[in-house]
Amino acid sequence: MVRIGVEERRTRLGRRHRLGAGCQAADPVEAAASMVALHASDPATVHLSVATRVPGSDVANTERALYDDRSLIRMLGMRRTVFVVPTPFAPVIQAACTDDIAVRQRKLLVKHLAESGIADGAESCGQWLAAVEESTATALALRGSATAQELSADEPRLRTRLDLAAGKAYAAQPYVTSRVLFQLAAEGRIVRGRPLGTWLSGQHQWSPAVDWLPGGLGDKPAAEEARVTLARAWLESFGPGTTADLQWWAGWTLGQTRKALAAVEAVEVDLDGQTGYVLPGDEAPEVPVDPWVAFLPGLDPTPMGWKEREWFLGPHKPKLFDNTGNIGPSIWSDGRIIGAWGQPESGEVRYQLLEDVGADITALVESEAARWTTWLAGVRVTPRFRSPLEKQLSQG
């Protein structure tokens, strides 16, 4: 069994994730494809992840790909997370991950409707939900694009309240609006369009999928075929990785993961005592890259690409991750995390190194901090999921 050590894994990361010197992507689509998908739960992440990987890229460049050219699309994908993906690859993610999520979420929503007394029994709640979905989809088709508030005016049942965890300290009574729109999006019927306000906004216009893209998401492959394609793409970008890494990243069952790895004929490699996998023919060492430094945003797809992260994270997890496993802004050098960054109210980029990296790397870090201060031009990005060190750096 071929051994692939930590240094080799870090070299691959620098080249394949478009972070190393001379390895950057040409445009937002190439940047997204190199990562399979860009995390988009936090809207700022997409723009910052692209700008890290595409020299000279700005917000307008990424928005053009998303909303004008529509060569990128925002969709629900792996682990019930929102991603931005190259549009031709969207049907693969839909079939490999999102369709299963839609089935589970529909059952859960019907359960919550029944528990809230919206209708009498699960069957009646399912019928109620179907009627509201069709009415909402029709209203959206008539408008062409609309906000959740506008659709609620057209379909008043969207303002129905759920009664969740009644009698408990964390009880809540949210409107059903977001759950219905989530369901329609998960089934590929509607898509998130332009944000309301600035590029930092998490609120979006909605559009029918068939209006946003000719033919909607297009022809989907069969689920098993799609999982094989997605596993291959993950190995191309993130390999070597373990079965646990791929299972966590994709949100699959263990059986689905093993079957996909077998179908791509993944080759076993030794990851310092663990069994990892690469694609056939990908066992050879990667071409080395020159020393590099990168400032990655919170939830960037690089640190979120593996379940087991010790080989690039070291002992820094308590300072860089929140309590639910989401990473904040991080600083990387040659394939490993060396620090974190944040912004106080004044808007400049501050950083803190967590280990001694020497004068040359420190100079690169200082240069990157200055570059990001210029790029952000006074815009303060507060991550949706905040790490302890980012909070500390953002004070004052």
The C-alpha angle 140, 219, 260, rounded to 5 degrees, equals: 120
pLDDT digits (tens, 9 = 90+) for 96-138: 999 999 999 999 999 999 999 998 888 899 999 999 999 999 9
The C-alpha angle 135, 70, 327, rounded to 5 degrees, equals: 90
Contact (Cβ atoms closer than 8 angstroms) between residue 319 and residue 340: yes
The answer to whether residue 79 is domain-embedded is no
Separation CA 58–CA 217 (nearest Å) = 27
Separation CA 237–CA 34 (nearest Å) = 6
Mean predicted lDDT score pLDDT of the chain: 96
The answer to whether residue 153 is domain-embedded is no
The answer to whether residue 30 is domain-embedded is no
End-to-end alpha-carbon separation of the chain, Å?
A: 53
How many domains does one find in the chain? 1
The answer to whether residue 37 is domain-embedded is no
The answer to whether residue 129 is domain-embedded is no
The answer to whether residue 159 is domain-embedded is no
Task: Domain of residue 367: give its range.
Answer: 314-394
The answer to whether residue 365 is domain-embedded is yes
pLDDT digits (tens, 9 = 90+) for 31-75: 999 999 999 999 999 999 999 999 999 999 999 999 999 999 999
What pLDDT is recorded for position 27?
98
The answer to whether residue 360 is domain-embedded is yes
pLDDT digits (tens, 9 = 90+) for 8-28: 999 999 999 999 989 999 999
Q: Please give the structure tokens belonging to residue 48.
A: 């910052």
Separation CA 98–CA 15 (nearest Å) = 29
What pLDDT is recorded for position 218?
82
pLDDT digits (tens, 9 = 90+) for 196-248: 999 999 999 999 999 999 989 889 999 999 999 999 999 999 999 999 999 99
Q: Which residues contact 17 (CB under 8 A, 6 or more apart)?
A: 34, 35, 53, 237, 301, 302
